[in-house]
């Protein structure tokens, strides 16, 4: 999946959701550790970043802003965030607007002072929001994350973990969440395990993160995943756990394996780089093609391109040079430059691709705008044929659980029943999507424990949003009013 370079109108693909990190480590520079962990999780959200810290028994300090981690924080700001505990977040706006007020961590000080970082979407946000407003609870944002924070901040329970255990069963949807008070961290995960959350250890202290790559960068070791419906409490006494909800149908997002998680992260015992390589091998088995060269759309298609080359015997090379210094920016190019905007990120090499029958490997296609440009760029560089091979099935349905995809009508597979129709629309000589069975074979998992609704249209949760909320999810609108 190739990200957009400018504004959301040019976006071609699902946007990553959010990344969370929390650590209890007196004697460590927790703000700096959080900074590096968020840097490792930057791929999960490039819209805003924030860190909250506190000393044991002190007040919570929060610094958050729009932009990348490296844009929001510098040496002076990190030094202004001392403490024993820290909470970090990187964000995309899957619900609520991209305004500063919706950046995280969320801070509340009702019955108790807390900061909260959340990855996912609540599908009963409006119901809970209305209930809290009737109780006189005010809101400063349009994010469903503040609803969780308000439920916990206003809860009368003396212990935060007791409040979480009471609130968690009332939440519907996806919520891998970390909450911090001046005394402890509490991490919890929705009973369907839709979004990832892992537990790690640095020295004798504990931390939690969206992915294991965040633990690697700070020298922490991965202990295990936070279990579905589990509440993990980390404080001066170490760690304790309880199960708030058990026995729900597991529905971990299979798209994490295909694209969202970093290739060096480990999920369910699988290193994703290896799983994505197997996807490429299975693509070659499912859709053999006579070609001269395999190339990847960097970097998302690189592991699968290697696998395709291994299995097919077709040599692989780099067909594009990627500018690795391009990231989302608040400086928007003019209309003339936007026409050529993709070249800011990818530049094809005619010396490699000219006269060649190419297999072009990528992980997914949603709207198709970027893919169409890539095909044309390769033809302009002299490619003889362009055969697209994609390591995910066709995306035909929106996600209500924390991934920002286009509307169903904008998806290139909508209304096109065959791969031949889609290939023609993209200007490619052929197109093949990896089958859903192939995806699960590659990752060593089954549909019984995962969510693949964006491909299949089969939503695993008993509760789904009402029509008004579905419209908000699909069009990126706030679910609630501040």
User: CB of 177 within 8 A of CB of 117?
Assistant: yes
209 phi/psi in degrees, rounded to 5: -155, 160
Average per-residue pLDDT in the chain? 89
- The residue annotated as part of the active site, out of 18, 207, 253, 454, is 18
Structure-block tokens of residue 83: 């403490």
The CA-atom distances, in angstroms, between 393 and each of 209, 387, 435, 451 are: 29, 16, 6, 13
Q: How large is the greatest C-alpha to C-alpha distance in the chain, in angstroms? A: 71
At residue 309, the pLDDT reads: 98
**pLDDT bracket for residue 355 (50, 70, 90):** very high
pLDDT digits (tens, 9 = 90+) for 357-392: 999 999 999 999 999 999 999 999 999 999 999 999
Closest-CA residue to 59 (of 22, 107, 20, 99): 107
What tokens were used for 473? Answer: 């999810």
- With 80 as the cut, is the pLDDT of residue 326 above it? no
Decide if 19 contacts 265 (C-beta within 8 A): no
Active site residue 399: no
- The winner for highest mean pLDDT among 101-110, 213-222, 408-417, 473-482 is 213-222
Q: Are the beta carbons of 388 and 373 closer than 8 angstroms?
A: no
124-132 long-range contacts, Cβ below 8 Å, gap at least 24?
124/171, 124/172, 124/173, 124/463, 125/95, 125/173, 125/469, 125/479, 125/480, 126/468, 126/469, 126/479, 126/480, 128/170, 128/171, 129/479, 129/480
pTM of the model as a whole: 0.89
């Amino acid at each position: 999946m190739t990200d957009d370079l400018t504004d959301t109108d040019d976006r071609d693909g699902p946007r990553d959701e959010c990344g969370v990190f929390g650590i209890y480590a007196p004697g460590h520079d927790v703000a700096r550790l959080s900074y590096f962990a968020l840097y490792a999780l930057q791929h999960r959200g490039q819209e805003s970043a924030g860190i909250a810290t506190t000393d044991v028994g002190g007040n919570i300090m929060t610094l958050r802003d729009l932009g990348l981690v490296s844009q929001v924080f510098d040496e002076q700001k990190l030094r202004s965030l001392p403490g024993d505990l820290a909470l970090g977040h990187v964000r995309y706006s899957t619900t609520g607007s991209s305004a500063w007020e919706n950046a995280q961590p969320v801070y509340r000080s009702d019955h108790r002072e807390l900061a909260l970082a959340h990855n996912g979407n609540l599908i009963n946000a409006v119901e809970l929001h209305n209930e809290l407003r009737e109780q006189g609870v005010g809101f400063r944002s349009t994010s469903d994350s503040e609803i969780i924070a308000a439920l916990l901040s206003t809860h009368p329970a003396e212990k935060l973990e007791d409040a979480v255990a009471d609130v968690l069963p009332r939440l519907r949807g996806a919520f891998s969440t970390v909450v911090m008070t001046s005394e402890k961290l509490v991490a919890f995960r929705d009973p369907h395990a839709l979004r990832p959350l892992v537990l790690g250890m640095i020295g004798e202290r504990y931390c939690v993160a969206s992915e294991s790559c965040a633990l690697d960068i700070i020298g922490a070791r991965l202990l295990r995943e936070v279990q579905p419906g589990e509440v993990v409490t980390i404080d001066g006494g170490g760690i304790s756990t309880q199960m708030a909800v058990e026995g729900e149908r597991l529905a971990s997002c299979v798209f994490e394996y295909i694209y969202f998680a970093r290739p060096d992260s480990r999920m369910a015992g699988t290193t994703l780089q290896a799983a994505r390589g197997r996807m490429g091998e299975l693509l070659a088995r499912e859709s053999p093609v006579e070609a001269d060269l395999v190339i990847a759309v960097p970097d998302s298609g690189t592991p699968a391109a290697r696998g395709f080359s291994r299995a097919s015997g077709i040599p692989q090379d780099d067909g594009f040079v990627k500018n690795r210094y391009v990231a989302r920016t608040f400086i928007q190019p003019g209309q003339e430059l936007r026409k050529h905007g993709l070249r800011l990120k990818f530049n094809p090499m005619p010396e490699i691709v000219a006269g060649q029958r190419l297999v072009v490997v990528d992980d997914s296609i949603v709207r198709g705008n970027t893919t169409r440009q890539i095909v044309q760029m390769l033809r302009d560089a002299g490619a003889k044929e362009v055969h697209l091979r994609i390591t995910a099935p066709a995306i035909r349905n929106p996600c209500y659980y924390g991934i920002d995809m286009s509307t169903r009508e904008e998806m290139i597979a909508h209304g096109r029943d065959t791969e031949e129709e889609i290939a023609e629309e993209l200007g490619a000589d052929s197109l093949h999507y990896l089958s859903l069975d192939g995806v699960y074979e590659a990752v060593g998992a089954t549909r019984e424990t995962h969510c693949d609704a964006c491909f299949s249209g089969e939503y695993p949760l008993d509760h789904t949003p009402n029509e008004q909320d579905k419209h908000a999810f699909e069009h990126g609108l706030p679910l609630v009013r501040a």
